[in-house]
Amino acid sequence: MINKISHLGIAVKDLKAASETYRKLLQSEPSEPEFVSEQKVNVVKFTIGESTIELLEGTSPDSPISKFIEKRGEGIHHIAYESDDVKSDLKRLGDEGFELINKEPRVGSDNMLIAFVNPKSIGGVLTEVCQH
C-alpha cells in the first residue's frame, strides 16, 4: 500500500552547482553523491523532515534525465510515493487502468525497489512507486 510521499526528483544539468543552491536554500548538507548505473544518473539527496529532495544529473546523452532536460529543461522530474509492497501496488495500478512504464520493480538509488507509472495516466506527472 502507498503510505507517504517519499521524494521529489529534480532534473539538473550540473549536480555540483544545484547541490550548492539547495544547500543554501534548505540550510542543509546533501548526501554523498551516488551513481545509479541502470539509470545512468548521479544522485544527491537532501532530507526535509520525512521527505527527500533528490537532485538527478544524467551521466550520458541517453540517460532518462538527460533526455528529459533536452525536451523540457531542468525542473521537477517525478514524484515518488513510498509503498510497503511495490509489486502489489503495481498490480493494483495496472488493474485500475494506469499505464505502467515498469511492470516489475527494479533497483534504484539506495537499493530501493522502484517502478514508474506513465505520466499520461496521471495528469502529466511522472510517478514513481518505491519500497525500501
Percent of the chain with pLDDT over 90: 97
pLDDT number for residue 91: 97
For 115, residues 6+ apart whose C-beta sits below 8 A from its C-beta are: 86, 90, 100, 101, 102, 103, 104, 105, 106, 128, 129, 130
CA dist 50 and 4 (Å) reads 9
Per-residue pLDDT at 79 exceeds 90: yes
- The one-character DSSP state at 48 is E
Q: What is the mean pLDDT of residues 103-115?
A: 94
**Residue with more model confidence, 51 or 69:** 69
| Whether the model pTM is above 0.85 | yes
pLDDT number for residue 50: 87
Q: What is the mean pLDDT of residues 87-106?
A: 97
Architecture of domain 2-131: Roll (3.10)
